[in-house]
Structure 1
């Protein structure tokens, strides 16, 4: 009986020995082949200890800043903004055509949306925000200013709700650093661009110690370029005509 079992098990033992030898050979050639599969690196990291101005969520090495709520709408319209940031210099530098469709992401009270609208009379401005209270303000001001080519759009934290291939220029002014899901948002924004569409990010310069803004509300050009490259957006140029902010321009990869 034992001899019968030995005869039956002998081929199995030989097979197992062969597989063991094969595995050893593969490991000697390339240890990665025999290595166990590891979980993919998560896009975001949550840390319990973090800057009080942030949300404890980290993306590509930086902490995401807290969102300024609709309660701060008055700060966006403060009279001193003209002197501090000189936004009147920005709009002429955008190279807009009358037929352009512009997406103002994180539009807030429409500070830029309503200033851009007259320059695109045959186009429109999609004023995107995630806060319903700000959408109400945008709708009220749109009627008050009688600018029919400004369309308030309620987005979500991971989707601006823009149609694919519909936008000539997507602009974010002091907004991107607060996106709770920056990767998902930028993928959606890139998808919304027309073939020659552009993305313009205006952010306070982290490299400049003379810019007295909380650190998480500033971004370095290096960090922005790294994050945009990860979603297939190519850096085109950085303009430095504003006193406190970069104006960084990106286009879709071919």
Structure 2
């Protein structure tokens, strides 16, 4: 009976600690939500799971240009020959290889080695020497400080497990006049055929980016399904 009592006491202590951690850890809260969500929340938004490297075929789907109008996105970015650009959550490099011929240098950042390997193979085939592969972490983009002119994040910010830490890391990498191009499927538009957890409204994005020290310069509304929000430092 004594061993059972000790076991129950320890079990109670464990679940008590777990409940306290899940309730609030300072910046993030934990509670049940969407069945496809992580159960981790930031500023009223549930964070989505990161799409695994198994989704490379979806990233490279032939119809992506039509659905997202990447050509128009690149025009929105007004890429200059001396621009240093970072693609955060670069995936298989869909945007990287479209930007590299236009820019001075492109950093392809991803946390999955398999994604970086896919970029490496295509980079070697294309003979492009201005693409740098960076293995990021859940809390850092691992980029050199004050070197980036433009940051591109396409449908990835909503999957950051640590959005505060990631934007802080990105901010350190930006030059003073640097810009963040935050591309997210429009939550305001119910006709966009994407799970709600993988969408973001302008209002939510502005709230989170303001908290990180950025302000909305403009939201270029010429993409079929996505916001093209441009943020600069406050």
Same fold by TM-score, threshold 0.5 exceeded?
yes
Matches within 5 A, 1:180-219: 180-219=161-200
- CA deviation string 1:125-167 (max 9, x = no partner): 0000000111111111110111111111100011000111010
- Which of 11, 28, 31 is equivalent to 1:44? 28
Q: Which has the larger radius of gyration?
A: 1
Deviation at residue 42 of structure 1 after TM alignment: 1.3
- In structure 1, how many angstroms separate the alpha carbons of the residues matched to 2:97 and 2:25? 42
**Residue in structure 2 matched with residue 154 of structure 1 by the alignment:** 135
**Residue in structure 2 matched with residue 101 of structure 1 by the alignment:** 84
SS across alignment from 1:90? helix
- In structure 2, how many angstroms separate the alpha carbons of the residues matched to 1:82 and 1:165? 32
**Unaligned runs of at least 5 residues, structure 1:** 1-39
Matches within 5 A, 1:1-254: 42-47=26-31, 49-120=32-103, 123-253=104-234
- In structure 2, how many angstroms separate the alpha carbons of the residues matched to 1:172 and 1:224? 12
Deviation at residue 112 of structure 1 after TM alignment: 0.3
Could you state the TM-score of these two structures normalised by the residue count of structure 1?
A: 0.81
- In structure 1, how many angstroms separate the alpha carbons of the residues matched to 2:83 and 2:70? 20
- In structure 1, how many angstroms separate the alpha carbons of the residues matched to 2:76 and 2:202? 19
- CA deviation string 1:59-104 (max 9, x = no partner): 0000001111000011000001111111121101101110110000
| Runs of 4+ that moved beyond 3 A | none
- In structure 2, how many angstroms separate the alpha carbons of the residues matched to 1:52 and 1:149? 41
| Number of corresponding residues | 211
Could you state the TM-score of these two structures normalised by the residue count of structure 2?
A: 0.88
SS across alignment from 1:161? coil
The Cα RMSD (Å) is 1.1
Instruction: From the superposition, tell whether residues 85 and 149 of structure 1 become closer, same or farther in structure 2 (CA, over 3 Å).
Output: same
**Unaligned runs of at least 5 residues, structure 2:** 1-23
- CA deviation string 1:190-235 (max 9, x = no partner): 1111011000100000001111110010000000000000010111
- In structure 1, how many angstroms separate the alpha carbons of the residues matched to 2:25 and 2:162? 16
Deviation at residue 41 of structure 1 after TM alignment: 7.4
- CA deviation string 1:17-50 (max 9, x = no partner): xxxxxxxxxxxxxxxxxxxxxxx97100111x22
SS across alignment from 2:153? strand
